Structure 1
Amino acid sequence: MTFKLRLSAVFANPNCLLGRRNRHQLLVTLLLNVATFSHGLGVGWMSPVMRDLQTEQSPLDFPVLVSQVSWIGSLVGIGSVFGNLIAGLLMDRIGRKMVLFFIAIPHTTFWFLVYFVQSVEFLYIGRLLAGVTGGACYVVLPTFISEIADTNVRGRLGSIILLSVNTGVLAGYIVSTKAGYYSSPPFIIILPIFYFICNFLIPETPHHLVRKGKFEAAKRSFAFYKNIRRDDVKAEDEFEDLKHLLIKEQTEKAKSFDYRDFITKPAFKAYASAAVLLISNQFSASFCVTTYLADVFAASYTTLDLATCTIIIGVLQIVGNYVTTLLCDKYGRRILMLTSSLGASLCLTAFGTFTFFAKDGNLSAVGWLPLVILSCFVFLCNIGLVGCLFVVLVELFPAKIRSVGVSAFVVILSIFVFLTLKIFPICMAVWGISVTMWCCSGTTFLTFLYFCFFLEETNGKSLLEA
């Protein structure tokens, strides 16, 4: 009896994700993140495969050069730009749900091209389309989740996006090392098809429906996501408050929304923080390490099995993101960003130093150290720089320019993804891995200083605040 009472008390807690109020919000978030899981699986699957394509054991009938591998790795960034723009332009016009339907199409095509590959151009186009899916996900999913989630669980639900991506990356590492090149795609392609079917069961967000004047549909959507009866008096009042605020915001935006909204002091503060946020995310090499993980370990003089190291790193990514879901609403975003940026900078310095001395000396006795350092780096990146990225990005901007601001900066993020993925293997080849890591460390430390002095806490901020 005591256990049942305690369990009931846990579920009655408004902060419990499995509580009655939050249950549908969590379920829909998990269903939608099948798309991000599938995208991450594609990213993780390609990392060991790209290294295999350059060897004599290549599963393909044609050679793949180092210069071509850098394009295969980086074209996902260009695809992300297209995905960002398409999602940003359409989600306010045709709705978030219709854009979510669209996401499944390019990703399904990516796996078809991988399976039926005849030349390296098939891989180029496939990676470009995979980037379109990822780019669209990173625009529409944070918006969708922020609009269906209560303020007290918004951070945890938003951080599931990157948790799902990294779970997919780990699955991709495992699949590509344990199964043959042509064995995986026929089974993996089931995921985007399942995701497409799930979308038929999910209502449009109440925010979008209210803005389109579909108040009855908005009320049904609101009742579904809050898991409450539509005839509940308290729920009726809550919905009316939301409707009033959204209509007021829309009216004010229609009357006064002009270029001056983009040149206010709060707007410039948001631009600066968002720019540093993107720099810290990409130029810390967090995504580069994930994409070229097999090559990074091969250059690290480790004595451990590369496939095992890759899988361990994939696990640490998930652990880091899971920690984010536990801490970001409880302790705030700022402390996680500070811990993550400083810790990542120290780890990159240590990794660069180890590889510098290992190049000229025999450090085989501590050949396990690169794995330990990279494990700490990946974990620390994922508790802040990666895990909190989209949560903080959405919350930084004033309400009047949030949609445009977030869309613009996600496009910039995709451009950064392309640049870093394109130049990272070149930097490793020209400068060596030590100098490359030291440069990333210096950049990350500068972003830590910015966060320390200028980044404001956004935890608990209402999305309807100016």
Structure 2
Amino acid sequence: MLLKLLESPNCLLNRRNRYQFLTTLLINLICIAHGIGVGWLSPTLRKIQSVDSPLDFSLSISEISWVGSALGLGAVVGNILMGLLHSRLGSRLSLLFIAFPHSCLWILVYFAKSAEYLFIGRFLAGISSGSLYVVHPIFLSEISDSKIRGTFGSMVLLSVNVGVLLGYILGTHLAYHIIPFVVLLLPISYVISNLFFIRESPMHLIRKGKYSEAEKSFKYYKNIREDSQMSEMHEFEAMKEALTQSEKTLDRVTIKDFLTRPALKAYGSAAVLTFVSQCSGLLAMISYMSDIFAQSGSTMDPDTCTIVIGIVQILGTYTTTLLCDIWGRRILLIVSSAGVAVSLTVFGLFSYYAQSHDLSQWNWAPLLFMSLNIYLGNIGLTGCYFVVIVEIFPLKIRTKATSAALVVCGIFFFFILKVFPVCMDQWGVPLTMWSCAGISAFGFFYFMFYLKETKGKSMLED
């Protein structure tokens, strides 16, 4: 029974998939570190604004919005920077670059003397996150088999969410000045593992004409043994031939390549997917979760609720890794957007009636419906985003179009992080939640009637 399971092409421990799986785990160390940086902010903001603040300064609502949104602003820069450099540097050097701006975040956090330190640190961490959201999906799509590509792609968000939970816990229970020393172990381990265990993707090496190195890389990631390579190397030869033909003109992309029918269809799907995934508020809520619970009308401890949400978020993205290559991307996005719309609507209703009614016996309701919102949001709108955004674009413009889409995503991310605390302050929790619910409902109808399934699509196809 166990042997049959291990021989299944969908099993991550299948002989062919083992090094792909190991590589995915190693490069996701930086995703965990990034997630810690995201989750750490929520309980830390409450500490900084309390009478027992570990710092010598406090933050106004305006400064909070700038510190929170600096991550999105940096992500835009990271998207653009990596979009320009990735095809030249290759994935391996790009992966190494990601660790350095993120490490600067924790150095600035430790030495923070004003809000500007936190803003610059979050901005640099944003450069790292914007870069990894370009490099990781492309790199994983190039080294993994089509049957497990969705699982590996969704593990990026799973790793980020593990980090978010750790950030909630560390920010709540550890002293402010100890956390940087703990977290810096992750980018250091990430750099070491990349130097010794990660190889350049075979597709990039073929594009650069390094066929011998590409063959070695292909054998490594497919775990091909010498006694079986003749039968398994046909796939490499097919990849080499396809890329050699297409790459003759790939570096000379013209405006016409961006105006083909498949490209135009992809833009529409990418635009809606980006708009809904960001403006549904899912990622912004993670940064401000403690404040949301504090203003929701519930009397439960906000930091405890936030940690529970971190656990739920991991369960959501883990569900994505299980179902993404079984059910497909489209059905998960449909279920996700519908669930987010309903749960945020009910969360807003509780907060609205809590202003004028005694709902103490329903204290558990905000935690329940926010948990549903985060769980269902993570199985599709966030869990599948970076998988789908790579797969929908034609081969010839894939890298540039993905980078451009992620730049737009970063702009939306910055905008929503900037306005979300202001909306809660000016509009209140109910109207803010209902606005996000309406955007999610729009996404539900689009995914239901217009989105094309990309499950099982070859990365050599348009």
TM-score, scaled to structure 1: 0.97
Aligned to 1:302: 298
Aligned to 1:3: none
Code of the residue aligned with 1:148 in structure 2: it is I
Code of the residue aligned with 1:149 in structure 2: it is S
Whole-angstrom CA distance in 1 between matches of 2:292 and 2:251: 51
Query: How do residues 142-153 of structure 1 correspond to structure 2 at under 5 angstroms?
Result: 142-153=137-148
Q: Does 1:38 align with 2:44?
A: no
Q: Does 1:117 align with 2:102?
A: no
Aligned to 1:103: 98
Cα shift at 1:193: 0.7
Cα shift at 1:90: 0.8
Cα shift at 1:443: 1.1
Query: How do residues 164-203 of structure 1 correspond to structure 2 at under 5 angstroms?
Result: 164-201=159-196, 202-203=198-199
Specify the SS of the correspondent of 1:93. helix
Deviations 1:18-37 (A, max 9, x none): 11000000000010000111
Specify the SS of the correspondent of 1:58. coil
Aligned to 2:425: 429
Query: How do residues 240-389 of structure 1 correspond to structure 2 at under 5 angstroms?
Result: 240-253=237-250, 257-389=253-385
Specify the SS of the correspondent of 2:248. helix
Moved more, 71-80 or 242-251: 242-251
Aligned-pair identity in percent equals: 50
Aligned to 2:445: 449
Query: How do residues 4-15 of structure 1 correspond to structure 2 at under 5 angstroms?
Result: 6-15=1-10
Cα shift at 1:303: 2.1
Whole-angstrom CA distance in 2 between matches of 1:211 and 1:399: 13
Q: Gapped runs of 5+ residues in structure 2?
A: none
Which portions of structure 1, spanning 4 or more consecutive aligned residues, are displaced by more than 3 angstroms? 252-255
Aligned in 2, Cα 1:140/1:126: closer, same or farther, shift over 3 Å? same
Deviations 1:419-443 (A, max 9, x none): 0000011111111110111111111
Query: How do residues 220-235 of structure 1 correspond to structure 2 at under 5 angstroms?
Result: 220-230=216-226, 232-235=229-232
Aligned to 2:58: 63
Whole-angstrom CA distance in 2 between matches of 1:229 and 1:88: 35
Cα shift at 1:187: 1.6
Whole-angstrom CA distance in 2 between matches of 1:65 and 1:116: 20
Whole-angstrom CA distance in 2 between matches of 1:343 and 1:89: 37
Code of the residue aligned with 1:143 in structure 2: it is I
Whole-angstrom CA distance in 2 between matches of 1:258 and 1:463: 21
Aligned in 2, Cα 1:444/1:276: closer, same or farther, shift over 3 Å? same
Q: Is the 8 A contact 1:230 1:236 kept in 2?
A: no
Whole-angstrom CA distance in 1 between matches of 2:251 and 2:144: 26
Cα shift at 1:236: 2.5
Code of the residue aligned with 1:319 in structure 2: it is L
Cα shift at 1:252: 4.6
Q: Is the 8 A contact 1:34 1:192 kept in 2?
A: yes
Q: Is the 8 A contact 1:338 1:448 kept in 2?
A: yes
2:45 aligned to which of 39, 46, 50: 50
Specify the SS of the correspondent of 2:449. helix
Q: Does 1:212 align with 2:203?
A: no
Code of the residue aligned with 1:114 in structure 2: it is V
Q: Is the 8 A contact 1:220 1:230 kept in 2?
A: no
Aligned to 1:420: 416
Deviations 1:19-61 (A, max 9, x none): 1000000000010000111000111111110122122221101
TM-score, scaled to structure 2: 0.98
Deviations 1:366-410 (A, max 9, x none): 011000000000000000001000101111111121111100000
Q: Is the 8 A contact 2:345 2:434 kept in 1?
A: yes
Cα shift at 1:305: 1.7
Cα shift at 1:185: 0.9
Q: Is the 8 A contact 2:291 2:302 kept in 1?
A: no
Q: Does 1:463 align with 2:455?
A: no
Moved more, 82-91 or 155-164: 82-91
Q: Is the 8 A contact 1:223 1:235 kept in 2?
A: no
Cα shift at 1:234: 1.5
Q: Is the 8 A contact 2:298 2:366 kept in 1?
A: yes
Cα shift at 1:363: 0.4
Residue correspondences, number: 460
Code of the residue aligned with 1:299 in structure 2: it is Q
Whole-angstrom CA distance in 1 between matches of 2:71 and 2:441: 27
Q: Gapped runs of 5+ residues in structure 1?
A: 1-5
Instruction: Tell me how large the CA RMSD over aligned residues is.
Output: 1.0
Code of the residue aligned with 2:184 in structure 1: it is I
Code of the residue aligned with 1:23 in structure 2: it is R
Whole-angstrom CA distance in 2 between matches of 1:451 and 1:222: 35
Whole-angstrom CA distance in 2 between matches of 1:251 and 1:125: 42
Cα shift at 1:321: 0.3
